[in-house]
Amino acid sequence: LLQRRGIRLSAPAPIQVTVRDALNQALDEELERDERVFLLGEEVAQYDGAYKVSRGLWKKYGDKRVIDTPISEMGFTGIAVGAAMAGLRPVCEFMTFNFSMQAIDQVINSAAKTCYMSAGSIAVPIVFRGPNGASAGVAAQHSQCFAAWYGHCPGLKVVSPWSSEDARGLLKASIRDDNPVVMLENELLYGVPFEMSEQAQSKDFVIPIGKAKIERQGTHVTLVSHSRPVGHCLEAAAVLAKEGVECEVINLRTIRPMDIETVEASVVKTNHLVTVEGGWPQFGVGAEICARIMEGPAFNYLDAPAVRVTGADVPMPYAKNLEDNCMPQVKDIIFAVKKTLNI
């Protein structure tokens, strides 16, 4: 009516939302949308979650939908996998993915393989989610990145969000997917606010699993990353732009299935490739990207060898100065770009 009278209505402006709040909104909306969805894990209910991702959900949905578990990853992960096989859609939270090692048999041998081994007759619609990779000052047993581990296993889908929009859209897509999905979040991103578009605020907003996003257009070199290092790549790109080097920054979003087509198209354009990740170098995500480029048509367009920027090949030290030197920094990305461009 207002538009017919010539009064223009402006679209809602993008808003700032933290990754924590984006995950909380996605969980809330999916619990409300589908009564088969439930959340379980250590301290997810009465304590509102170890990282407050599930804040307010227990009070809203009660004990049957948001369930506190004992400190027994193998036990509650097995319960969640069995519930998924029986037709429910569990979201299984690990306080950190380092603790998922206690439940690796359930994740791989039970969840990942059952659909295949049952000739498609048993679906396992489950999401395993929680913080992955290094945080701050938590040392070796709490700082490992499992993107390469889980990305190695057929039967799983593996997503790794960077922004609030990534977190919201990928979690909703993961919950609705009929396959087991591993969602690797980052503790250091939980409190970081990102601009969220009007589209991303919709209850029906999902990000397709298996599709990367070009965060910044460029012509000289392709930077490919996932999770927190995407931000480092954008910072490095901003610095390099002042020196006349335009970086194309790709946010993978999904580790498995990997959107290698987007990477290939970018390499064909820029003729240079640098991968950036927080995980260890050997058999890492960057190693897989380099191999796929080597084996595919984009290899013929490379003007220099691909370069990997990774975490140091050591268990994570506790001391902050050593920890900083073990994780990719903006300066490391800038150095790698200049190396591959020979400048």
**Active-site residue, 73 included:** yes
Q: Which helix (H) or strand (E) holds 254?
A: strand 254-256
Say if residues 220 and 272 touch (Cβ distance below 8 Å): yes
User: In this predicted structure, what is the pLDDT of residue 62?
Assistant: 96
Residues of the chain where predicted confidence (pLDDT) is lower than 70: 1-13
Which domains, and CATH codes, for the chain? Answer: 15-201 (3.40.50.970), 213-341 (3.40.50.920)
Peptide bond into 257 cis (omega under 30): yes
Return the pLDDT at 7. Answer: 60
- Whole-number pLDDT of residue 14: 79
User: Is there a contact between 229 and 328 (Cβ–Cβ < 8 Å)?
Assistant: yes
Q: What are phi and psi of 260, to 5 degrees?
A: -70, -20
pLDDT of residue 12: 59
Which of 29, 30, 42, 73 is labelled catalytic? 73
Q: How far is CA 9 from the centre of its chain?
A: 36
Which residue in 29, 142, 220, 226 is the catalytic one?
142
Contact 179, 125 (CB under 8 A): yes
